[in-house]
Structure formats: C-alpha cells, structure tokens
Amino acid sequence: AMGNWLVNHWFSAAVLAAWLGINIFLFTYYFLFFDRNEQYFYTRAILGSALAWARASAKCLNFNSMLILLPVCRNLLSFLRGTCSCCRRTLRKQLDHNLTFHKLVAYALALLTAVHTIAHLFNLERYNQSQQATDGGLPAVLSKMHLQGSKWLNPIHSNQTTVEYVAFTTIPGLTGVIITLALILMVTSSTEFIRRNYFELFWYTHHLFLVYFAGLVIHGIAGLVRGQTKQSMAEVHPYHCAEYLTQRAQNCTHYCCKDPEFGSIPAESWKWVLAPIILYVFERILRVWRAQQKVVVTKVVMHPARVLELQMQKKGFCMEVGQYIFVNCPAISSLEWHPFTLTSAPEEDFFSIHIRAAGDWTERLIDTFQLEIPRIEVDGPFGTASEDVFQYEVAMLVGAGIGVTPFASILKSIWYKFQQDDQTLKTKKIYFYWLCRDTGAFAWFNDLLASLEQKMAESGKADFLTYRLFLTGWDTSIANNVALHFDTATDTVTGLRHKTIFGRPMWNMEFAAVAAAHPRSVVGVFLCGPQALAKSLQKSCHQHSSLDPRKVKFYFNKENF
C-alpha cells in the first residue's frame, strides 16, 4: 500500500521533502551562523544562544511567509495545470493538494512564531538585566555604550523599563504582537468545524493576512538586534579586544582601546514576500475580471430539506467531472465567495450546483432565490477532472454524506457516454455505495438516481448500475415503517427499486461479491468521504486483490473535493 501511495504521490512526497529540507537547512545554517560568527560576539555576550534561536526561526518564517500565498492562487494553479496537460495525470492531480500544503505551511508559521517570540522574550529580559547590571562585566559595559553617541548595542537605554513596555512601544515589539494575534485568529478560525458551520467567520478572519504581511514587512525596520560593523571588526577584533573593554587602564595606549562600533541587521522580509504578493495581486485582479463575465441563471429548483439547485450558463464556461466553482452573490455580500462542487455533466448545455442550507450566507441565498433571481458571479471551474473513473471496466464508487455531491456529475456523465457509445468509456459496470445519516438533505440525489434507474431500465441496461444506500443514522419510526412495507417493490425511505440497508457496509462482503462477479477485471475504487473510511477501503483493496496478474485487482483512488 505504501509503495502504491508513493507511485501516485511521488510529486507530493518530493515537494514535502524539499520543503522540509529547505526549512532544516535554513534553520541550521543561520543558527550556527549567529551562534558562532565573530560579528555577533558582543551581541552573544549579552543574549547568549537565544540570539541564534530568534534569528534562525526568523529566516524560516520569511521562507514560509513567501510560500503561504502560492497555494491559494487558484488561477495560477489552473494555468499550471493547463500548461502541464501533457504531463501524467497523477502529476496534475497533485496540484489539488494545494490547500493541504497551505495548511502545513500555516502550522509551520505558528510553530516558528512561537519559537521566535519566546527567544525574543528571553532576549529582552537579558537586554534589560544587562542595562541594569552594575558589576562591570562585559554585558554591563556593552549596555552603557549608548552614552557615547550612536555606538549602542543594547536597545534598552533606561533602567526604568520593563519587557512588556518594550514589547508594546517599539516597532518590532508592536508589529510582532499584531502579527502574532492575526496569525492566532487565522489559524483558530480555520478549523474544519468553523469552516463547515460558520464560513463567514473563517472568510473574514482570513483577510487578516493583509495585516500579517503589512506587519511582517515593517517588523525588522528598526533594526534593534545589532552586530559589530565590518570596518570595526577589522580595526578592533573581539577575539583580541573584548578583554580590554572590562579591564581598561586610564592611560591605555593599546590599539584595542578604541570602542567597537555596531550596525543594525537590515530588514529583509520584504525581499522574501515581494514576488508572492505581486503574484497574489494579479490573482485577485484576474478573479475580479472573471467575476464580471455575465452568468445567466436558466433554472431554479427548490428541493426538499431546503436544498437549492441552480442551473446556469456562462460564455466560454467549460467544465469536467469532479470540478468545483466559487460563487458570489453581490446582493448578499460583495466580498464572500463560496465553493460548490459542480453537479452537472460536461455533456449538458448548462452547469449546475446544489446549495444546502448550512450557515448564514446559504440561508440568505436560498431566501433571496425564493423571492427573485439575483445577480450571480462565478469564478472557475477549478480542480482536476475525476476522469479516472472512465478508465476502469468495473468501478466501485463510494460517497459518504456531503461527499455524494461530485458523484452526481460522474454518474450523469457516465450515462451520457454510455448512451453515445463513447470510445473513451471503458466502464461496463458500476457499483455505487451511498452512506449517509439521513436522506433528507439529499432528496435531490435520490431523484437523480431514480431518473437514471428509469432511463437504464427503458434502454434495457438496468444492470449497468447497482447501487446501495446505507442509512447510518435511523430511528425506530423508520424501522417500523420498513418492517410494514418490507415486501413492496420500491424502498420505503427513498422510493427506489434498490433497498436501503440500515447500518454501515460490511466491506469485506461487498468486495468479495464484486471479486466473485468480476474474477478477471481491474476494479477502480473511488471514495469521496472521510479519512477513516479511506483507510478501511484501502485495506479491503489490498486484501481482495489477487496475486495472479490475470485475476481481479482493486485500485484505490481517493478524490479530493
């Protein structure tokens, strides 16, 4: 299974290894540089190793801040996907892991920020102690140099100050506090729970990235951490002259009597983030331009359980199965864009989405459409097509909960290809497994299955699609109703010919049945659902694949929607 993962995800693994490698290299190189370089001999005399911890984490923060915007440049990724259309599909598919990489970089930023902040708190404490010290030691002598003009090394020049005061009154301190607060708010508001239930909170809080980048660029301008200048190093090298600073005679004639001079480390965060910021500005301009293109809503269908279906047309819009779009309704909010999986097939002359009432924005959109048809803006489509489904003669499709949505597009497209005798379609048989707590919110999908079932029966192809609905959340009233109508031709829960099964699937039995029915086939297993389910399906694929190359083989594909 691991070998299979590496074959399919070698590009992701290579990107991950390179990212980790560069982070480790930057941290190690700059840690050793600031921990050993003679230029910072006097700075280390006051700060100790906390200097190296602060500077090494700062370099990694710059590097990751440079990367964080790139995975969310949707149009840039679409362009890359288009330019490498000649590449293997597995490589293009890796670009769909953009948000996973974005989250990974964000977690790295959070960790590095913690290291950087703690190190600087130690630094401020040591600067303060050295300023107040009266023992005549090297840190105390160095801290008094501000009395002789601009030669200072210690940024704290007063005995009546505190670490908290410096943190809130200096440019690095204040911007550091603001950046950290912005980062904490962005990370905490982007959890799965908040994104699913309070998308607006996530959306607006995430725009604090503007504050983050502005703060980052300003953060190092004051240059509070200093080192000895090159010229001063040549004149009074610390290895020869440091001892003379603490034990200098009044009538000293030695060349070391001259005081060392110090200069600031130049601010460099802007160099790291300038290019990604320019790219991101272009991305936003492109989004605005694309959003201005007219979208015509051709049909509005209100399904049970407050699910709204929108069928739309837009000039030049070209979709493939498994893709998604971003939708904006200026009448509700001109800033909010929400992602929706496309539920239409490429063969249809419109594109459609199904919107479930889940949160303020969707509630208001559904209410608005019940009164009038407002103006809609669309950006997309995005994502790599899930056309792998068409490459297997037998396909097992598993949709769990909301994960059933992309299969609407896939099932419709397969049916159109099947009807048109499309040569690209190798599929001869589909097994579809639908797992959900209650069918209420997916009544529209039920209708789609019923219409497909009817069309297939009319064409004499009733056995092309076998599907099973597993109701994982049910109560006694449903159970009693089922018991009463057990011998009816259609199902009591869904009204479909195939019966609803209560509880979770026994995957071993399902796979064994498919293997027995297709002993010499290559079976593609596709999942759109939770990670736990992915693991058990992967295990079943492994267990039920025959070692004999002429016999049944199961290949697992997890779709990223």
Q: Are 413 and 345 in contact (CB under 8 A)?
A: yes
Rounded mean pLDDT, 20-34: 98
Give phi and psi for 481, each to the nearest 5: -60, -40
> Going by CATH, does the domain composed of 386-558 fall within 3.40.50.80?
yes
Confidence of residue 479 (pLDDT cuts 50, 70, 90): very low
Kindly report, as residue ranges, where domains of CATH 3.40.50.80 are found in the chain.
386-558
- On whether the CB atoms of residues 320 and 385 are closer than 8 A, the answer is yes
Q: Which of 339, 293, 288 is nearest to 315 (CA)?
A: 293
Give yes or no for residue 480 having a pLDDT over 60.
no
pLDDT score of 213: 97
Contacts for 533 with CB less than 8 Å, ≥ 6 apart: 398, 400, 435, 527
Q: Is the pLDDT of residue 242 over 70?
A: yes
Q: What is the mean pLDDT of residues 37-55?
A: 96
Beta bridge partners of 341: 324
Domain 293-383 architecture: Beta Barrel (2.40)
DSSP letter, residue 31 = H
Query: Which residues does 346 contact at the CB level (< 8 Å), separation at least 6?
Result: 318, 319, 320, 321, 413
Question: What per-residue confidence (pLDDT) applies to 474?
Answer: 58
pLDDT tens readout for residues 393-425: 899 999 887 778 888 898 888 888 878 877 777
When the pLDDT of each residue in the chain is averaged and rounded to a whole number, the result is 86
Kindly state the average pLDDT of the residues 492-508: 68
Q: How many CB atoms lie within 10 A of CB 374?
A: 13
Q: What is the mean pLDDT of residues 459-485?
A: 66
State percent of the chain over pLDDT 70: 89
